[in-house]
Amino acid sequence: MTTATVTETEKEFRPVSGWRVVAAKELADHLLSGRFIVLMAVLGIATAAAVFAASGGIRDVAPNAQGITALFLKLFTVTVNPVPFPLIVFVGFLAPLLGIMFGFDAVNGERSQGTLPRLLSQPIHRDEVILGKFVAGLSVVAIMLASLVLFVSGIGIFRLGVVPSAAEVTRLFVWLILAVVYVGFWQALATLTSVMARRASTSALIPVGVWLVLALFGSFIFSAVAGLVAPRDGSPAAEVDYLRAEQAISQISPITLFQQGSTVLLDPEVRTVGLVTLEQVDRAIVSELNLTQSLGVVWPQLVVLVAMTAAMFALAYIAFVRQEVRA
C-alpha cells in the first residue's frame, strides 16, 4: 500500500512523453481513416499500371542491354507508353497530396471538434501536440511510400526476373528517405495552414493551390522569370545565361529539388543536374557512379530540401505555440 502511494506521487512529478501518446493516437486514427484507404488504393493502382508498362518496356530492350548493371532501378525511371511518365515523376507529382492529406486539419480539426482546450489542459507541453501529429502523419507517409517501393520491386522481380543488387537497394532506401522529407515539406505546409486557417476547407485549399501552381505552371513561371533576369538575344552566351538562370530559379521549388535528387539517386549514370555543353560530353565514357558520388552530385539539392522542410515545420510549430487557445 505504501509503495503504491510512493509511485503515485512520483508519477505526478514525472512528465509524460506526450508527443508519443499523441502520435500513437494519431497513427491509429490515420491508419483506420477513409482517406488512408482511398490514397493507398489510388496510389497502388497508378503504380501498378506504371510498373507493368515500365517492366514490359524494359523486357523488350533487355536482350540488347548488355552491361547495364542498374537494370532494376530502371523500373523507377523509365518512361514507356502508354504511361506518359516514369514512376519517380509520378511520385514527385502526387506525393505532396499525401502530406497535405495528413496535415491539413491537424490543428483546426481539433478546434472545430472542441477537443483542443481539453487536449491542451492535459499535462503535456504544447509543442508535443504538433510534434506528435507531424511524426504520426509522416510515419503513415513513410509506410505508404515504403510499401509502394516494395510493391514495385515485387512486380519488377516477378516480371523481369532481375534481383536488385545491394547497391540498388541502398539507393532505393536513400531515395525513400528523400521522398519522406519531400512529403514532410508539404505536410508541414498543410499543418501551418491548419494552424492559421479556422476552417479545414481553407487549410486544404491553400497547400493544394501551391502544389498545383508549382507542379503545373512551375516551369512556365520559372522560364518567364529567367527571361526577365537574363534576356535572350539569340547569342549562345545569352542563351547559356538564360538556361543557368532558369535552372537556379527553378530550385526554389521543392518539386524541382526532389526531381533532381531522385534522378541522380536512382540513375547511377547521371553525373550532373546542371547544364552540360556538347564539348563536355564529347567522347565521355558512359559509366556508373557509386552512391557516394551520386550523393555528391545532388548534395546541395538534398540539403536545401531538408532545410526547407525543417523551416516549414518550424513555422507551423511557432505559429501553434504562440496561438491563443481560443483563437
Partner 1 sequence: MTTTIESRGLTKAYDGHKVVDNLNLDIAAGEIFGLLGPNGAGKTTTILMLLGLVEPSSGEMEVLGLDPRRHPLEVKRRVGFLPDAVGFYDTMTGRQNLRFTARLNGIEDAEDRIHSLLEEVGLADAGDQLVGEYSRGMKQRLGLADALVKDPGVLILDEPTTAIDPEGVAEILGMIRRLATEEGVTILLSSHLLHQVQAVCDRVAIFVDGKVVAQGPPHELAAQQEGPTRVEFRFEDDDEGLGRRLEALGPIQSVNRGRIPGAWIVGVEPTRLAQAVRLASAEAPLVGVHRLDDDLDSIYRRYFESKEEKTA
Write out the residues near partner 1 by the rule CB under 8 A.
11-16, 18, 21-22, 25, 29, 32-33, 113-115, 117-125, 324-326
**Smallest separation, CB 106 to partner 1 (Å):** 13
Q: Which is nearer to partner 1, 132 or 207 (CB)?
A: 132
**Smallest separation, CB 26 to partner 1 (Å):** 10
**Smallest separation, CB 118 to partner 1 (Å):** 6
**Smallest separation, CB 29 to partner 1 (Å):** 7
**Smallest separation, CB 30 to partner 1 (Å):** 11
- Cα–Cα dist 281/271, whole Å: 11
Distance in angstroms between the alpha carbons of the first and the last residue of the chain: 46
Q: Is the peptide bond before 82 cis (omega within 30 degrees of 0)?
A: yes
Helical H runs in the chain? 2-13, 18-32, 34-61, 74-77, 87-101, 108-113, 116-120, 126-160, 166-196, 200-229, 236-250, 254-266, 278-281, 291-322
Q: Which is nearer to partner 1, 113 or 272 (CB)?
A: 113
Q: Is the dihedral of CA 223, 92, 85, 175 positive or negative?
A: positive
Q: Which is nearer to partner 1, 34 or 82 (CB)?
A: 34
- Cα–Cα dist 255/215, whole Å: 7
Q: Which is nearer to partner 1, 116 or 180 (CB)?
A: 116
Position of cell 495552414? 193
Q: Which is nearer to partner 1, 16 or 275 (CB)?
A: 16
Task: List the one residue out of 100, 313, 294 whose CA is nearest residue 186.
Answer: 100
